Each structure stands twice: as C-alpha cells, then as structure tokens.
Amino acid sequence: MLSQINTAGLLGINAFHVCCETDIGDGLPGIILIGSLSSEVKEAADRVKTAIKNSKISFYPRKIVINLSPAEIKKEGCGYDLPIAISILEALGVIKSDILNESMFVGELSLSGELLPIRGVLPIVIFAKEAGFKNIFLPYDNLAEANIVSGIKNIGIKNLKDLIEILNNEKTYNENINKVILPPQERKYSDFSDVNGQILLKRAVQIAVAGRHNILFIGPAGTGKSMIAQRIPGIIPNMTDEEALEVSKIYSVCGLLNSKEPILKIRPYRAPHHTVSPQALSGGGRVPKPGEISLAHKGVLFLDELAEFKTNTIEVLRQPMENKTVSIARVNASIDYPADFMLVAATNPCKCGYYPDRSKCSCNEAQVKKYLSRISKPLLDRVDITVETSMIRYEELKGDFHNVSSEEMKKYIEKVRDIQLNRYKDYDFSYNSEIPPNLINKFCALSENDDIFLSNLYEAKKMSVRGLHKILKVARTVADFNEHENIEHADICEAISYRSLEDKYW
C-alpha cells in the first residue's frame, strides 16, 4: 500500500514542501530511505521503527521503501521522523484519518515515542499556512513558537501514541493547551545618563541610529567606546510586527527561540569576539546556518577592537553591508540569508592604544599605519560616520551632570525616524542610509554654493562616489535632526567632519 504524508524542510530561513511517500511490499525486510538525505535523516529508520514498537504497535517485518521528494534538494535535520512514522502507520492501516491530506507533520522522535522539539518551526508553520494546509502536527515544546502564526490550527503532540489516537478519533485533542499567553518582553540596557562627557560621540551616535548609518569609534583605550556601544540598543526604536517575525525566523532556524520567548520583539544586538572566524560571521558550514551578521538583522552588529579582527574575517562584511543579504553557495543550492544590520565598530588607533599621545604611545608612524591597515579602505568607505573619542577630564568624571537619558534620546530619534518614514512612504526603503543612487539628487539636493563647495572637496580629496553619497545621506539625517526641510551648509559641514578622520589615521 502507498501512503503520502506532507511535511516540510528548510532551505535557508524558508521552508519548502516535502512529500513523504511510503510503499510496503514483498521483499527483503527492512526500511529503505531515499531522496537525497543527510546522515541524520537516514538514521530516522532506526528511530522510527523503535518508537513505533515502544508505542505498543507491532507489525510483521516487511520491505518498506520511503521516498522524500523532491529528490534534488538535500534533506537535513530530524524533523522528518514524525512524517515518516505516520506514513508507515497509514500504509500499514494502523492510522485511518480523513484529515491527513490537509495536514502537515514535523517533529523528532525519541526511541520511547516521545516527540522532541526541532529547529525552524516558525518558518515551517508560516509556509504551511501559505500553502493552504489546515492543520500542522508538531512537538508540544514547539507549540508556543508555532502559535505566533494565526490562520492555521497548530496541534502540539507529546508522544506518538497520543497522535495515533487523535488521528483515529479515539482521543479528543484539548485545544485549551493551544492557547499560550506570553508576558511582554523586557530588557534593561545601561543608560546614557550614566555617561559623562563625550558630547560629540553621543551626538554622532544619535545621528547614526536615527538614519541607520554605520559608525566607527576610534580613540585611545579607556575612553568609553565600548561603554557607549553597549547603550545603543536602548535608544533604537522598537521593531514593527513584520520585522519581529522576520528576525524570529532567523533565530528559529538557529534554535535560539524557546517557549518563554517564542518571538523576538527586541532588536538584536550581537557582539562577536575578535577571534570569530569568517564562517561564523557570515554563516555557512556543512549544514548551512545563519552567521552573526544575519543574527544581527534589523539590529546592531558591534565589532569591538575592529583592527584586531583578521582581515579576511571583516572583509566578508563588504558585500552584506551593500546588498543587505549574505549568499552561501553550495554544490546543490545557493542560500540567501538577510543581513540588514547597523554596524557599530570600535578600534584603538594603534597597538598600544594611545596614539597620538606621544607621552604614552611608543608606536612609530609605520607601526600605526600597519595596525590600521587591517581595516581596508573599501570597508572604511562603507562606514558613514567615523568619530574620535578623547580622554575624559577628571572634572567630567566627578561632576554632577544632568546628562540626557536613553529614553529622551529614543523619543527624539523616533521623531527623526517618523520624518524619514513619511518622506519615503511611496518608496521601497525607509531610512536615509538606504537612499538609492538614482534618488540622491532628489532627496539630498544642495544649494548652488554648497554644491560647488562639495564638488571642490570631492575633487581635492579624490573621493569615491560611494564616499560622496555617504556624506550626502548623513547630511540628510543631520538636517532632519536640526529640523531643516532642506540640507543647509551647517548640515553638510557636520557630515563632512564625520569622514575627516580618514586623512588623520589612514
């Protein structure tokens, strides 16, 4: 008898339909699995057979051929255990149900028949809903994550025996356990009100966050670069529901969601150590997974001690910073992961960390250049704002200042972001940093005198076109901050000052 059960696999952060076909016939007893399978999927034969036996179901040894189609896409993971088991049981006549064709099954089986949670449930449930399935049967521990998606009946199952009884109408499924009320997510961040001094740095951070510009801090050790970067998540506007769902799909695939936090509503903040490998940063591996830059999607990627990273590691940022995606190429597939992040980086100006203070720094010019050359000009060209930090005076540390709090900063940043959202409502981008080259002249128009001023600077500095556009985009954000409808001379000068450090250090 032939049985066909619907399930789904993962390709990147999206799911695709998989049909589990089982044929039971005469021949040498055993379970044969085909369909371009990884080792863990092939091992399902022993897991499923033992789980069925321990669920008090016995059958005579037969030749069982199971095909997971489409065969051209490799199947990874343990989520195919449950559909394989249901397919075998339907082919044997143990399960007789009218809802199998309109249902999808995913889940890993233990040898006792218990259903174990799997990764990537959220994109699978989204796909099942879009494909028109009415029900999806999945492990109970994945239920909270699945319930994020409405419009499809998510049925959490604890073991194979219960599922068989539910499908055969021998047991009623309790839908009350399908309702999970989650408390709102709260996360405390350090506050900017604790930071004395560094007025220029705090101003640059607000502009960077408001326009989603990439920013680099450079300055001596101990001047607060990391301290300020750690406070940035507290001033970033909250994610929309659409953004939260998109980010949660990435974290679901990586197995970073749980029943207490099934959807990520707080913008990601990732800070990998400088020893991170290129693969861990960009993603990939034998079984491709999103890397740090994808986990920072719609949030912040903070790279502390940027010059200490291996050059080939940070160079992988160049394409994602432009295209907002990471492409992982494999022999049988090419996977695209989203990577729309705000880069925040910090670096010392030299190996000892005190250049250009000659009373402390012992590095010569050649050593300084060699140290900073680890950050290539093409990568530096993709950074919108570079700002220098300075040593804090004792009076600034001890003084009782009324510093602006993170909450106040956030309110003003939200106001500036609303200006951008309204300005670009008829376009497929939302922030000043995303203005495409063909619309630069439209949204970043200058007066005749400022146009001549910028033209002379462009020629004198031999700037790249990308560098010129970065200045104009930052000037547009500065103008929004200053409540100027058009970019004024002071706005363009401030934007230029945020790129002047290249001449000093590089």
Domain assignment of residue 184, yes or no = no
Q: Would you give the end-to-end CA distance of the chain in angstroms?
A: 72
In a domain, 35, yes or no: yes
- DSSP letters for 87-142: HHHHHHTS---SSGGGEEE--EE-TTSBEE--S-HHHHHHHHHHTT-SEEEEEGGG
**Domain assignment of residue 293, yes or no:** yes
Per-residue pLDDT of 10-31, as tens digits, reads 998 999 999 999 999 888 888 9
Residue 236: what pLDDT?
A: 94
Cα separation, 459 vs 111, in Å, equals: 71
pLDDT given at position 334: 80
In tens, the pLDDT along 477-493 reads 999 999 999 999 999 99
Q: Are residues 232 and 300 in the same domain?
A: yes
Does the pLDDT at position 186 exceed 80?
A: no
User: For position 382, what pLDDT does the model report?
Assistant: 93
CA dist 43 and 492 (Å) reads 63
210 and 273 assigned to the same domain:
yes
Task: Provide the domain limits for residue 358.
Answer: 192-505
With respect to residue 187, please indicate whether it lies within any of the assigned structural domains. no
**pLDDT tier at 170, thresholds 50, 70, 90:** confident
376 and 465 belong to one structural domain: yes
Per-residue pLDDT tens digits for 222-249: 888 999 999 999 999 999 999 999 999 9
CA separation, residue 378 to residues 322, 327, 361, 433 (Å): 11, 19, 28, 17
- Last residue of a domain, which of 117, 144, 178? 178
121 and 224 fall within a common domain = no
Q: Are residues 440 and 388 in the same domain?
A: yes
- Give 243's contacts (C-beta < 8 A, 6+ positions apart): 298
Predicted confidence at residue 498, as pLDDT, reads 93
pLDDT number for residue 401 = 67
b/e per residue 448-466 (b: at least 16 CB within 10 A): eebeebbeeeeeeeebeee
What confidence score (pLDDT) does residue 190 get?
83
Q: Is residue 37 part of a domain?
A: yes
* 244/156 same-domain check: no
Whether residues 138 and 223 fall in one domain: no
Domain end point (choices 129, 148, 178): 178
Q: Which residue has the higher pLDDT, 89 or 191?
A: 89
What percentage of the chain exceeds 90 in pLDDT? Answer: 71
My answer on whether 205 and 81 are in the same domain is no
The three-point CA angle 282-287-290 to 5° equals: 30
Distance, in Å, from the CA atom of 482 to the CA atom of 490, rounded to the nearest integer, reads: 10
Q: Which of 451, 333, 340 is nearest to 11 (CA)?
A: 333
| Global pTM value | 0.89
CATH number where 328 lies: 3.40.50.300
Which range among 34-38, 284-288, 300-304 shows the weakest confidence by mean pLDDT? 284-288
| pLDDT confidence band for 504 (50 / 70 / 90) | confident
Instruction: State whether 101 and 169 are in the same domain.
Output: yes
Report how many domains make up the chain: 2
Confidence of residue 400 (pLDDT cuts 50, 70, 90): low
Residue that finishes a domain, picked among 122, 143, 178 = 178
Which of 132-146, 208-222, 252-266 is predicted with the least confidence, judged by mean pLDDT? 252-266
| CA contacts within 13 A on the Cβ side of 349 | 26
Question: For 312-363, how does the pLDDT look when each residue is reduced to its tens digit (9 = 90+)?
Answer: 999 999 999 999 999 887 766 788 999 999 999 999 999 888 888 888 888 8
Q: Does 7 map to a domain?
A: yes
Q: 366 with 312, same domain? A: yes
Per-residue pLDDT at 356? 80
Q: Could you give the CA distance from residue 473 to residue 203 in angstroms, rounded to a whole number?
A: 16
The pLDDT value recorded for residue 6 is: 97
Average pLDDT over residues 153-161: 94
Calculate mean pLDDT across residues 492-506: 87
Mean pLDDT for the chain overall: 90
The radius of gyration of the chain from alpha carbons, rounded to an integer in Å, stands at 28
**Residues 148 and 233 reside in one and the same domain:** no
Q: Has residue 186 been placed in a domain?
A: no
Question: Of the ranges 286-290, 291-295, 450-454, which one carries the lowest mean pLDDT score?
Answer: 286-290
DSSP bridge pairs for 230: none
In a domain, 183, yes or no: no
Looking at the predicted structure, is the pLDDT value of residue 434 above 60? yes
Question: Where do we find the tokens 């005190």?
Answer: 354
DSSP 305-372: SGGGS-HHHHGGGHHHHHHSEEEEE-SS-EEEEE---EEEEEE-SSSSS-TT-TTT----HHHHHHHH
pLDDT in tens, 85-103: 999 999 999 999 999 999 9
**CATH number for the domain that contains residue 88:** 3.30.230.10
Question: Domain check: are 277 and 326 in the same one?
Answer: yes
> Where is pLDDT greater, at 501 or 88?
88
